[in-house]
A and B are shown apart, each in its own frame.
Chain A
Amino acid sequence: MELQELIIQKLKKNFPDSFIDFNVHMGDLSVKVDKKNIVKICSYLKEDSELEFIFCEDVTAIDWAKRKNRFTVVYHIFSFKHNFRLCIKADVDESDCAIDTVSTVWKTANWEEREVYDMFGISFNNHPDLRRMYLPEEFEYHPLRKDFPLMGIPGSLALPKK
Chain B
Amino acid sequence: MEKLTEKDVNPKILQALLGAESDLTVDEALENEMILNMGPQHPATHGVLRLLLRLDGETIVACVPDLGYLHRGYEKLAENMSFYEFIPHTDRLDYLSPMSNNVAWALAVEKLAGIEAPPRAQYIRMLVAELTRIASHLVAIGSLSMDVGALTVFLWTLREREKILDIWDILCGARFTNSYTRIGGVANDAQPEALKLVKNFIDKIDENLDECERLVNPNKIFIERLDGIGVATKEQAIDFGLTGPNLRASGVEFDLRRATPYMFYDKMDFNIPVYTEGDSLARYFVRVDEIRESAKIIKQVLDKMPQGETLLNQPKKVLPHKIEVYSKMEELIHDFMIVNFGINPPKGDIYSAIENPKGELGFYLVSEGEGHPWRCKIRSPSFVNLQSLPHLIKGHMVSDVVAIIGSLDPIMGEADK
Residues of A within 8 A of B (CB): 25-26, 28, 30, 54-58, 60, 62-63, 74, 76, 80, 83, 85, 87, 106-108, 110-112, 119, 128-129, 131-137, 143-144, 148, 150
Known contacts A108-B239, A110-B387, A135-B71; A60/B377 CB under 8 A:
yes
Known contacts A26-B114, A63-B375, A76-B364; A135/B349 CB under 8 A:
no
A-B contact count (CB 8 A): 94
Known contacts A80-B254, A85-B351, A111-B384; A137/B10 CB under 8 A:
yes
Q: List 13 A-B contacts (CB under 8 A).
A: A25-B348, A25-B350, A26-B112, A54-B238, A58-B362, A107-B241, A108-B240, A108-B241, A108-B387, A129-B20, A135-B68, A143-B73, A144-B75
| Interface residue? B270 (CB, 8 A) | no
The 10 closest A-B pairs by CB, nearest first: A108-B241, A134-B68, A25-B348, A134-B71, A60-B377, A83-B259, A58-B379, A111-B387, A62-B375, A131-B12
Chain B interface helix/strand/loop/mixed: mixed
Question: A residues within 8 A CB of B10?
Answer: 137
Q: Which of B51-106 contact A (CB under 8 A)?
A: 67-68, 71, 73, 75-77, 80
Question: A residues within 8 A CB of B384?
Answer: 108, 111-112
Bound: A25/B365 CA distance, A: 12
Scan B1-40; emit 1 where CB is below 8 A from any A CB, else 0: 0000000001011001000100000000000000000000
Bound: A148/B75 CA distance, A: 13
Contact B71 A26 (CB under 8 A): no
Return A143 CB to nearest CB of chain B, in Å.
Answer: 6
Bound: A128/B21 CA distance, A: 10
Scan B381-403; emit 1 where CB is below 8 A from any A CB, else 0: 00110010000000000000000
Question: A residues within 8 A CB of B252?
Answer: 80
Which residue of B241, B351, B383, B416 contacts A56 across the interface (Cβ within 8 Å)? B241
Return A3 CB to nearest CB of chain B, in Å.
Answer: 13
Bound: A144/B377 CA distance, A: 11
| Interface residue? B353 (CB, 8 A) | yes
Return A119 CB to nearest CB of chain B, in Å.
Answer: 8
Return A147 CB to nearest CB of chain B, in Å.
Answer: 12
Known contacts A80-B254, A134-B68, A144-B75; A57/B239 CB under 8 A:
no
Which residue of A28, A80, A132, A137 contacts B351 across the interface (Cβ within 8 Å)? A28
Question: B residues within 8 A CB of A110?
Answer: 387
Scan B349-360; emit 1 where CB is below 8 A from any A CB, else 0: 111010000001
Of all chain B residues, the one with the shortest Cβ separation from A28 is: B350
Known contacts A106-B239, A108-B387; A150/B80 CB under 8 A:
yes
Bound: A85/B362 CA distance, A: 12
Known contacts A63-B375, A144-B76; A25/B254 CB under 8 A:
no
| Interface residue? B111 (CB, 8 A) | yes
Bound: A119/B13 CA distance, A: 18
Not counting A83-B259, A137-B10, A144-B76, a sample of 19 additional A-B residue pairs whose C-beta atoms are within 8 angstroms of each other reads: A58-B351, A60-B377, A62-B366, A62-B374, A62-B375, A76-B362, A76-B364, A87-B349, A106-B239, A107-B240, A111-B383, A111-B384, A129-B16, A131-B12, A134-B71, A134-B416, A134-B417, A148-B76, A150-B77
Bound: A54/B240 CA distance, A: 11
| Interface residue? B208 (CB, 8 A) | no
Known contacts A58-B351, A108-B387, A134-B68; A143/B76 CB under 8 A:
yes
Return A27 CB to nearest CB of chain B, in Å.
Answer: 8
Return B363 CB to nearest CB of chain A, in Å.
Answer: 10
Question: A residues within 8 A CB of B152?
Answer: none
Question: B residues within 8 A CB of A76?
Answer: 351, 362, 364, 379
Which residue of B67, B80, B239 contacts A134 across the interface (Cβ within 8 Å)? B67
Question: B residues within 8 A CB of A106?
Answer: 239, 241
Bound: A125/B328 CA distance, A: 60
Which residue of A57, A129, A148 contacts B241 across the interface (Cβ within 8 Å)? A57
Bound: A26/B365 CA distance, A: 12
Known contacts A108-B384, A134-B68; A26/B348 CB under 8 A:
yes
Bound: A57/B244 CA distance, A: 13
